[in-house]
Structure 1
C-alpha cells in the first residue's frame, strides 16, 4: 500500500505546475505524499537505531529531517526574509518538543503503558535546549536595554552563533563516544544500565526485517530528497491555502509551516514510540530541536553575512522567545526521570494548544 502512495509525489509535482490556482488541492496532495515517505524513513531509522543505537539513529534522522528546514531557510535568507526564517525555526523547535513528543508519549503510553528511556541522554538534550533559550534571551535583552544597536547586535549574534556551533560539535563527539561505549558493553555481554541496553531489550527484532546500515542510509537519503521536494511545494502553497482558510500570518508561520515542514520526521518519532522504542522517539524529537537551535540557527546567522542582503541576528521577538522558554521548561520537567506515560504526553500537547490559541489571534509573530 505504501509503495502505491509514492505516486502522490509525482502527482503533487504535476499539480503544482499545471494547477497553480488550486493551492488547497496541491497542499493536500503534497501533505499526503509525505505519509509513505515517512513510513520508509521510520523503517530506515529503526534499522540504523538497531545497529548504531537510538542516540545515533535519532541523530541521523534529525539531520536528514532538518535538511528540508535548512534548504527552505536558505532560500528565504537569500531573499532577506529573516522574520520568516526565525518564525519557522522557533515553530519547529516548539512543535518537536511539545506536539511531536506529546503525541509520541500518548501513542506509546496508550499501547504499552509506562515506557522507559535513557534519562541521562534526555537530560543532556534538555540542558542543550536551555542553553539555546539563554542564547535567544540575551540578544533580546540587550536590544531592550540598548536601543538602536544594530551593528553591536550583529556582532553579539555572530559570537553566540560560533559558541553554539562549538557546543553542538562537542555534543556530537560526546554522543558518538557514548554510543561506542554502549555497543562495546553489549558486545561483551554486559549491561551498564545505559538506555541503549534497555532499548535493545525492547525487542528490536519484532518490528519487521532490518536493513543493513548501507541500505538504510541510502533509503534515508533518498527519502529525505523527496521530503525536501514536497516541503518546498508545501511552503509555496501554504500561504495562499492558509488565506483561503482564514488563518493569520503569525499562526501560519509558527505552527502550520513548522508542522508541515517536519511532518515525516515527526511521524518517525511517533511510529518509534508505538513500537516501544521510546529512546529513539526521544532522540528524534529532542535531538531535532537541539539541532535546529544549536546548529541550523547559528549556521544561518553566519551564512547571512555572505548570501543575504544583510546579516541576520539572533534577536527573536518576545512572543517567540517566551514560547520557546515555556516549551523547554515543561519538556525538561517531563523528560527528566527516564519514564513516560500518556498523561505526560497530554500535558505537552496542552501547552502546545495553549500557545497555538494565542498565536491564532496575534497578527504578528513578534
Structure 2
C-alpha cells in the first residue's frame, strides 16, 4: 500500500510544485516500501547462497538506500547532516534495530540462543569502530591552539582532512579483510545455521530486477529528500541535524529493521543480530569512509571529525550496550527493552540539541553587546 507514495511524491515534486514539507514527507514514506523490496530480493538470493552470504547481502543492499541519501545530501552541501546521518545509522541499527528484533522475536519465548563466537567477533569490530571514529575528533581537539595565529584554522582543517582520508582507507581495508576472515578463512566458525526457505523462490532475473529498480527509485526519492531538507526543518521547527540523525537515518536503514525483526520472529535470532550489528559495522567501516572518499571526488570534502561530544557519547553507548547484551549468547525480551530505552534517551537528547551556529551566536551575543557598551565611540565593531 505504501508504494502509492512513489507516484504521489513525484507528482507533488515535478507537476504540482508542492511545498517542500509535503515532498519531504511523501518521499520519506516512499523509501520504506522500496527498502523492503530490497530486503525481499536479498532474502531470495540468500535462499540460494546461504544465510551467511544472504545476511551480508541484506546488510549491503539495506545500507545502499542510506548511502544514496547521504550522497545527495552531500551534493547539496549539508555535510553536518551527512555526519549526523552516519551517527544516527550506527545508533539506529545497533540500538533501535537490534532492540526491536530481540523484543519482537522474544514474544512467547523465554530466551533465544545464538553463536557466542560470532557475537564476540562483532563486538570486537564495534570497539574498533569506536576508536576509529573518536580518533579524528580527539586529534582535532589536540590541534586547537589557545591563540589562533593567522592561517592556523586552515592548517588544522587540512590536517583533519588528511587524517580522515588515512582513517577512511584503513577502515575500508579492515572491512574487506573482515569479509575474507568470516566468509573464506574461518567460514566454518562464523557460518549461521541454515533454515529452509518458506514460500516459492523467485527467478534470479526477478530478484536482480527488483534490486536494480528499487535502487534507482531510492536514488530519485533521495534527491527529492535532500532538496526539501532545509525547508522542512524550518517549517517543523527542527534542526537539520535532528532530521539527519533520527529521520533520515531511520528511513535509510528501514530495510534492516524489517529484516531483523522478521528473522527474529522466526526464531533466527543469530541472523537478526548479524544484520543489525553487521549493518552498524558496515556503516562505520565502509559507508562512512566511502562517503569521505566520494566527497573529495565531487568537490565537497568531508572529514570524520564528529565535533559534538554527544555524538561521541552515543557511539560509546552503542559499543558498551551491545557488548553487554550479547556477550552471554542469549537474548530475552527485557534486553530488547534496554536497547530501545538507550536509543530513546539519545534521541531525546538530540531533539534538544541547539544547532552549532545558533549556539555560537547565543554565546557571542552578550560578549559583543558588552564590547559595544564599553567602547561606544568605535565607528565599526568587528566580531569574528
User: What aligned pairs does 1:158-237 form with structure 2 within 5 A after superposition?
Assistant: 158-177=165-184, 181-182=187-188, 196-197=192-193, 199-200=194-195, 204-205=196-197, 207-211=198-202, 215-237=206-228
Deviation at 1:235, TM superposition (A): 4.0
When the two structures are superposed, what TM-score results if normalisation uses the length of structure 2?
A: 0.81
Q: 2:373 aligns to what? A: none
Secondary structure at the aligned position of 2:355 is classed as coil
Deviation at 1:157, TM superposition (A): 1.6
2:242 is aligned with 1:251: yes
Root-mean-square deviation (CA, aligned residues, Å) is 2.6
Relative to structure 1, the CA distance from residue 337 to residue 233 in structure 2 (aligned partners, 3 Å threshold; closer, same or farther) is farther
Shifted more, 262-271 versus 162-171: the winner is 262-271
Gapped runs of 5+ residues in structure 2?
145-152, 358-384
Residue by residue over 1:287-308, the C-alpha shift from the partner in whole angstroms, topping out at 9 and shown as x without a partner, is: 1111111111112223333322
Q: For the Cα contact (< 8 Å) 1:80–1:308, is it kept in 2?
A: no
Residue by residue over 1:85-130, the C-alpha shift from the partner in whole angstroms, topping out at 9 and shown as x without a partner, is: 1111111111111111111111111154422333322322222221
Q: 2:277 aligns to what? A: 286
Q: For the Cα contact (< 8 Å) 1:118–1:195, is it kept in 2?
A: no
Shifted more, 65-74 versus 315-324: the winner is 65-74
Deviation at 1:28, TM superposition (A): 4.1
Relative to structure 1, the CA distance from residue 29 to residue 307 in structure 2 (aligned partners, 3 Å threshold; closer, same or farther) is closer
Relative to structure 1, the CA distance from residue 238 to residue 304 in structure 2 (aligned partners, 3 Å threshold; closer, same or farther) is closer
Relative to structure 1, the CA distance from residue 71 to residue 344 in structure 2 (aligned partners, 3 Å threshold; closer, same or farther) is same
Relative to structure 1, the CA distance from residue 29 to residue 112 in structure 2 (aligned partners, 3 Å threshold; closer, same or farther) is farther
Residue by residue over 1:4-45, the C-alpha shift from the partner in whole angstroms, topping out at 9 and shown as x without a partner, is: x53432222112223443444444433443454344334333
Q: For the Cα contact (< 8 Å) 1:238–1:257, is it kept in 2?
A: no
Query: In 1, Cα distance between the equivalents of 2:86 and 2:274?
Result: 18
2:133 is aligned with 1:143: no
Secondary structure at the aligned position of 2:107 is classed as helix
Q: 1:188 aligns to what? A: none
Gapped runs of 5+ residues in structure 1?
183-191
Q: 2:100 aligns to what? A: 103
Query: In 2, Cα distance between the equivalents of 1:119 and 1:178?
Result: 19
When the two structures are superposed, what TM-score results if normalisation uses the length of structure 1?
A: 0.84
